[in-house]
Amino acid sequence: MSIVYHENTRTFHLYNDTISYIMMVLENDQLGQLYCGKRIRDKEDFSYLFELAERPTTSCVFDRDKIYTMASIRQEFPVYGTGDYRHPAVEILQNNGSRISEFVYESYEIFAGKPKLEGLPALYAEDESEAETLVIILRDPLTGIRAELLYSIYKTGGLLARSVRFINEGQEAVHLTRAMSLCLDLPDHEYDWIQFSGAWSRERTPRTRRLEYGVQSVDSMHGNSSHEQNPFVVLKRPTADEFQGEVFGFSFIYSGNFQIQAEVDGYAVTRMLVGIHPDCFDWKLEAGERFQTPEAVMVYSDRGLNGMSQTFHRFYQKRLARGYWRDRERPILINNWEATYFDFDEDKLVKIAAGAKNCGVELFVLDDGWFGARRDDHAGLGDWVAARELLPNGVKGVADRIEALGMKFGLWIEPEMVNRDSDLFRAHPDWALAVPGRKMTHGRYQYVLDFSRKEVVDCIYQMISAILRKAKVSYIKWDMNRCITECFSAAYPADRQGEIFHRYILGLYDLYERLTSEFPEVLFESCASGGGRFDPGMLYYAPQCWTSDDTDAVERLKIQYGTSMCYPISSMGSHVSVTPNHQVHRLTPLHTRANVAYFGTFGYELDLNKLPDVEIAEVKEQIAFMKKYRRLLQFGTFYRLESPFAGNQAAWMVVSEDQKTAIVGWYRILNTVNDRFMRVRLKGLNPDLCYSSNLSPVKAYGDELMNLGMLTTDESAGARSGDIEMLESMDFDSRIYVLTAEE
Ligand code: DGJ
């Protein structure tokens, strides 16, 4: 890994084993982008990559020159209003009403490691030798604003992390009205754009279209990263697929309003912008103040989408997630939400836990409804004190009873919210976000607490930490069940109201930071009505996230497949629930529900006491299987093999680091009769090792399994040889193949 500055040509080259990123200080002292992609060897002069041609009707920089125009130059930190008509990386509103600025090169710094971003989640380096950081210092001479562009590269892996720090070294206050974290001008537009869109219970469906001239973007203005879009976009060459070809992934380590945009200009240059959504953002920067943007991450892969995903998985699992649980196998849990909803008391909970314990479940999670007047969703949010009529001895009482069963105890909270019918709201009506004199819009009868105010965050912290200090709580599910409206804070002046969305997120991160550092061994799982805030910002604090409220196995295949494009398997909350399923009312076999949920953190979302004995026996086997293989399932190298969006079958697999064990999940939506022979081509095996399978007497080398494929047709699995039973065959069927290399 290296970051080199070539003085003579004023060229920066960041490279490692996989990528190269090259920039040059331009003739007008602004910063130009020359190359981003597969690693190329370093040399002094790359200036031939600087593209400039006379373009009629453009506005030019130098007197007596009609070629040099910012309109078509590829740049790192472009502004609007001085000849470049594309969307800019930055916009600063000044006292005289002007929004024009000009950021010119001043100096640079290169240092080992990767700095923390104050108050914000970000990738980190465990020791200084594994990453290097370049800071390029630019300045707008008129306002004195200093912009520091941060670039970090790791020893290995096609990943670059970027952010911008603004420091007002001028005399007057300014307003940052646009502060994107990443701008990348690519030289052509021959890409497919893939976004991950959806809605509640159908999150992160990959949607692909050809990149076109003009602007295409995804964003959120929900106040959270949202169910509708994810802060993640892929650009892939049209010929690239899951296994080969060039792919860029752009991800934003942030949990609030965002925008990821591609703009293709008239000469087919593609400008990617990633950052806080500029609408609803206006940050006042007084003289002497600084503003740090969140971090954007770019991954390059020449091994297709799987290659890109594996890079994201490695970094997000090992260098974004932190703490005690980062590398630990996750406990198999049972959650009472779908088993009881709001209808429970302590005895009922303990019974559910005991039934689960009998099957081998390790953690019982008490979901919504245990506090204040929360007997339904009209009341109680904000009052984080146990409801004595349900839990006579408080949270400690029920936690002790669960612990006495030999299980761990987990608790649901929704700390950012308040019901009108709550003691907290009655005491502090101004603590909810609201515009004076205007109606407050509710979501699920609840309002959003003003987390831009320290006293509000402090108060919630006091309540939650008091519970965690008193009761033996090993896990927290942190929910967020509505988006933000009327984003106005009673605590800030008019010219700072544009800061509230972002200040809210800073308050949220502050609360997470305080709780996770005070209770480092508590496992946090984030959630927002399922997967409404499944983003890298959350993963920094909570290493797992409830993927979706949709627990149907067939739906989950799609949701988990789409989610895996960016996020590691160890981050995906996945549970077995009852049939008929509560969301789609579908009947699926128990084994398929587990076979999908194994590729995640795994747990149950039902009352196991209600299952017949034969299913209880099956559940016991599932839990034993998960305990045996969860390290591999959660931390192995994951490959998507066949897409559930493409046809009747889906498949994915994980492979151990030594390539000696692999687990393949194979799924068929509708049963077929008298069908063709089917096989799935495996990936990541050692071609020279011979693998045996739990489902077939046939042994095969890795090269056979990867090139010919593994037969998945029922009869092929050995029925002919008469020595094993015919495999089951039904609608919504699935199988788990465990492949073990022979010594
Ligand atoms: C939404 C979550 O996604 C569910 O799992 C559950 O915790 C409910 N909220 C409780 O209100």
Mean of the pLDDT values across residues 668-683?
A: 92
Does ligand 1 come within 6 angstroms of the Cβ of 367? yes
CA of 458 to the centre of ligand 1 (A): 24
What's the average model confidence in pLDDT over 584-605? 98
- Locate the ligand 1 atom nearest the alpha carbon of residue 527 and give its number: 3
Decide if pLDDT at 715 tops 70: no
pLDDT tens-digit readout, 232-263: 999 999 999 999 999 999 999 999 999 999 99
State percent of the chain over pLDDT 70. 98
Cα distance between residue 177 and residue 225, in whole Å:
20
Ligand 1 pocket, mutate which of 529, 533, 559, 601 (most atoms under 8 A from CB): 529
Q: What integer is the mean pLDDT of 392-411?
A: 98
Give the rounded percent of residues in the chain with a pLDDT score beyond 90.
Answer: 96
Per-residue pLDDT at 713: 80
Calculate how far, in angstroms, residue 434's C-alpha sits from the geometric centre of ligand 1: 25
Q: Measuring from atom 2 of ligand 1, which residue has the nearest CA?
A: 529
Answer yes or no: is the C-beta of 549 below 6 A from any ligand 1 atom: yes
Atom of ligand 1 nearest to the CA of 530: 3
Please name every residue paired with 469 in a beta bridge, in sequence order, or none if there are none: none
Q: Provide the pLDDT confidence category of residue 727 given band limits of 50, 70 and 90.
A: low
pLDDT digits (tens, 9 = 90+) for 681-712: 999 999 999 999 999 899 999 999 999 999 98
pLDDT of residue 217: 98
- Cα of 582 vs centre of ligand 1, distance in Å, is 13
Each residue's pLDDT tens digit, 71-102: 989 999 999 999 999 999 999 999 999 999 99
Asked if residue 529 has its Cβ within 6 Å of ligand 1, the reply is yes
555 C-alpha to center of ligand 1: Å?
18
413: CA distance to ligand 1 center in Å? 10
Say what the pLDDT of residue 629 is: 98
Q: Give per-residue pLDDT as tens, 511-543.
A: 999 999 999 999 999 999 999 999 999 999 999
Mutational test site, ligand 1, from 334, 337, 480, 526, max ligand atoms within 8 Å of CB: 337
For the CA of 377, the closest atom of ligand 1 is 11
pLDDT for 659 equals: 98
Catalytic positions, written as ranges:
479, 549
529 alpha carbon – ligand 1 mean position (Å): 5
Residue 674 confidence (pLDDT) above 90: no
Ligand 1 close to Cβ of residue 479 (< 6 A): yes
Tokens 């892939």 correspond to: 236
Q: What is the pLDDT of residue 718?
A: 45
Q: What are the backbone angles phi and psi of residue 662, rounded to the nearest 5°?
A: -145, 150
The pLDDT of residue 305 is: 98
Answer whether residue 67 shows pLDDT above 60. Answer: yes
Cα→Cα distances 529→203, 366, 503, 512, 620, Å: 11, 16, 22, 18, 29
Q: Residue 591: its pLDDT value, please?
A: 97
The answer to whether residue 29 scores a pLDDT higher than 60 is yes
- The reply to whether ligand 1 has any atom less than 6 angstroms from the CB of 337 is yes
Mean pLDDT of the chain: 96
pLDDT computed for residue 714 by the predictor: 64
Q: Whose CA is nearest to atom 9 of ligand 1?
A: 529
Q: How confident is the model at residue 161 (pLDDT cuts 50, 70, 90)?
A: very high
Ligand 1 pocket residue status of 368, Cβ below 6 Å: yes
Q: Whose CA is nearest to atom 1 of ligand 1?
A: 529
Cα–Cα distances (Å) from 402 to 253, 339, 359, 432, in that order, read 36, 17, 15, 35
pLDDT band at 673 (very low <50, low <70, confident <90, very high): confident
**Closest C-alpha to 293, from 77, 93, 497, 141:** 77
| pLDDT at 724 exceeding the cut of 80 | no
The response to whether residue 412 sits with its C-beta less than 6 Å from ligand 1 reads yes
pTM value surpassing 0.75: yes
Q: Torsion over CA of 29, 31, 33 and 34, rounded to 10 degrees?
A: 40
Predicted confidence (pLDDT) per residue in 475-515, tens digit: 999 999 999 999 999 999 999 999 999 999 999 999 999 99
| pLDDT at residue 722 is higher than 50 | no
Nearest CA to ligand 1 atom 4: 529
* Nearest C-alpha neighbor of 188 from the set 260, 275, 250, 246: 246
Q: Do 143 and 101 touch, CB atoms closer than 8 A? A: yes
Alpha carbon distances (Å) from 549 to 333, 352, 561, 575:
16, 20, 15, 10
pLDDT at 721: 46
**Which pLDDT does position 728 carry in this prediction?**
58
Q: How far is the CA of 702 from the centre of ligand 1 (A)?
A: 43
| Residue 679 Cα distances to 186, 220, 741, angstroms | 39, 41, 20
Give 328-381 pLDDT, tens digit per residue: 999 999 999 999 999 999 999 999 999 999 999 999 999 999 999 999 999 999
- Which of 376, 378, 412, 445 has most ligand 1 atoms within 8 Å of its beta carbon, as the pocket-test mutant? 412
pLDDT recorded at residue 729: 78
**Mean pLDDT in residue range 6-29:** 98
